[in-house]
């Protein structure tokens, strides 16, 4: 008799299970549209050249060591990351009422934020978009939130934002609920509010005293422009909100497995920084004690050096332009094939992902019949498309919907 004999089989995590199935598939034209990772036009992973350059310099630097970082991580990194998010002229930075916490990528940032909100402030209800990234609920529940509620987001009929539904759900949320907002490039739909819609969201959240927790996993990666992709977060700060923002450097630096993240904390007074920091320190100490250094060193070098920074800007433009181009090619090929339906949303949406509008049954058919790996929800990653496979994918969609 084992202590563990009663342990039930847990359900697999869909995106990771899909990649495993894809790797095991021997079909030669298989396509992976499930994974949230960048691929080159040849379908290969890409280590950014600027990352390689910095890694070589770090490897040759005999002064660097592998000692522990402080509990809240590398300060030069979290300051650079916070500046990148908010902009140097942001009032919160100028008034010394913001700070960053170096965390374990975007997920770690969200978890630290959720732990603080649940354990230290006693928050119980969080709201997330319907649909959202599949990990939000697990992260928040595990951190101690009692109840997760959905706010309306996606309208399948228009393949766009259900803005009226979203506003109505926010209006009805209890005061001081935590609202998770995707800063840009909404995952999984690819559909973001316009700037005027963000202004209305901010207004309702202010009236209702709702707390914004931004999830920013795609800054720069979405449009190729760091400022544009940070619009929503900067706008909320200008409007006087206190907020948190979980930043990931997985996609925009291609540092997925290095787990580099930052939690930006914006408060309304510099006096609050010391007590709030002290509580975050206790939260992190009890979770993983302190973060890893390697990826944060790379990001800090790039963000603090004009020449490396310019190279990185070129890289994020390369990635975002390739994605925008694949959106165009997929739409054009579907329209050329006269595939039933309106495919304009593919080019209206932004970032790595799009909801195709395919049903669960159709999405499963894409996997089984065509070896095109995509989520049951109909979400595809544009990064898995290449000039070579886009026609195959379009023809498979055509066959599936006809
Ligand atoms: N938030 C969103 C919306 C995401 O899409 C992702 C990754 O796919 C993350 C957070 C977290 O990513 P990571 O923990 O790899 O930085």
Write out the two tokens for 381: 């990653």
Write out the two tokens for 243: 């907020």
What residues contact 361, with CB distance under 8 A and at least 6 apart? none
Model pLDDT, residue 221: 87
Say yes or no: CB of residue 217 within 6 Å of ligand 1: yes
DSSP 8-state code for residue 183: S
Task: Give the DSSP per-residue string, 207-251.
Answer: HTTPEEEEEES-TTTTTS-HHHHTHHHHHHHHTT--EEEEEE-TT
Query: In degrees rounded to 5, what are phi and psi of residue 293?
Result: -100, -30
Model pLDDT, residue 146: 95
Task: Give the three-class secondary structure for 31.
Answer: strand
Residue 221 CA to residue 317 CA, distance in Å, equals 8
Q: Which atom of ligand 1 is nearest to the CA of 248?
A: 16
Strand pairing category for 260-266 and 98-104: antiparallel
Q: How many residues does the chain have?
A: 402
Torsion 90-108-209-222 (CA) sign: positive
Confirm whether 251 is a catalytic residue.
yes
Do 137 and 148 contact (CB within 8 A), yes or no? yes
Model pLDDT, residue 287: 97
Q: Tens of pLDDT along 325-382? A: 999 999 999 999 999 999 999 999 999 999 999 999 999 999 999 999 999 999 999 9
Cα of 282 vs centre of ligand 1, distance in Å, is: 24
Model pLDDT, residue 123: 85
E-only strand ranges, 131-231:
147-152, 154-155, 160-161, 178-182, 211-216
The model carries a pTM of 0.96
Q: Which atom of ligand 1 is nearest to the CA of 105?
A: 16
Torsion 249-251-252-257 (CA) sign: positive
Say yes or no: CB of residue 320 within 6 Å of ligand 1: no
Say yes or no: CB of residue 106 within 6 Å of ligand 1: yes
Specify burial of residue 56 (Cβ count, 10 A radius: 0-12, 13-18, 19+).
exposed
CA 247 to chain centre: 8
Q: Within the chain, which residues score under 70 in pLDDT?
A: none
List Cβ<8 Å contacts ≥24 apart for 190-196. 190/349, 190/350, 190/351, 190/352, 190/353, 190/354, 190/355, 191/153, 191/154, 191/159, 191/160, 191/161, 191/345, 191/348, 191/349, 191/355, 192/161, 192/350, 193/161, 193/163, 193/166, 193/232, 195/231, 195/235
């Amino acid at each position: 008799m084992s202590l563990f004999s009663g342990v039930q089989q847990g359900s697999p995590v869909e995106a990771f299970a899909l990649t495993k199935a894809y790797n095991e598939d021997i079909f030669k034209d298989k396509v992976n549209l499930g994974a949230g990772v960048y691929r080159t036009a040849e379908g290969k992973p890409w280590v950014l050249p600027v990352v390689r350059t910095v890694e070589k310099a770090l490897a040759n630097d005999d002064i660097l060591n592998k000692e522990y970082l402080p509990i809240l991580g590398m300060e030069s990194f979290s300051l650079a990351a916070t500046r990148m998010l908010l902009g140097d002229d942001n009032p919160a930075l100028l008034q010394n009422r913001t700070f960053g916490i170096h965390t374990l990528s975007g997920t770690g940032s969200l978890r630290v934020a959720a732990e603080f909100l649940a354990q230290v402030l006693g928050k119980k209800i969080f709201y997330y978009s319907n649909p959202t990234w599949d990990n939000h609920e697990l992260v928040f529940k595990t951190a101690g939130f009692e109840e997760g509620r959905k706010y309306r987001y996606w309208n399948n009929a228009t393949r766009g934002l259900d803005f009226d539904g979203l506003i109505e759900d926010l209006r009805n949320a209890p005061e001081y609920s935590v609202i998770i907002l995707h800063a840009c490039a909404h995952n999984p739909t690819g559909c973001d509010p316009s700037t005027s819609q963000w202004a209305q969201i901010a207004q309702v959240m202010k009236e209702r005293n709702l707390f914004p927790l931004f999830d920013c996993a795609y800054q720069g990666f979405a449009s190729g422009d760091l400022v544009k992709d940070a619009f929503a977060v900067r706008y909320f700060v200008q409007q006087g909100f206190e907020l948190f923002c979980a930043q990931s450097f997985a996609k925009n630096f291609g540092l997925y497995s290095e787990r580099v993240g930052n939690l930006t904390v914006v408060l309304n007074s510099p006096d609050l920084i010391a007590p709030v920091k002290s509580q975050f320190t206790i939260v992190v100490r009890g979770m993983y004690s302190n973060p890893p250094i390697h990826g944060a060193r790379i990001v800090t070098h790039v963000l603090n050096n004009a020449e490396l920074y310019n190279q990185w800007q070129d890289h994020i433009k390369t990635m975002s332009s390739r994605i925008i181009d694949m959106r165009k090619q997929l739409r054009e090929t579907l329209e050329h094939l006269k595939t039933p339906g309106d495919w304009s949303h593919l080019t209206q949406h932004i970032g790595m992902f799009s909801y195709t509008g395919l049903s669960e049954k159709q999405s499963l058919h894409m996997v089984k019949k065509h070896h095109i790996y995509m989520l049951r929800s109909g979400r595809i990653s544009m990064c898995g498309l290449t000039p070579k496979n886009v026609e195959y994918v379009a023809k498979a969609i055509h066959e599936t919907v006809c």
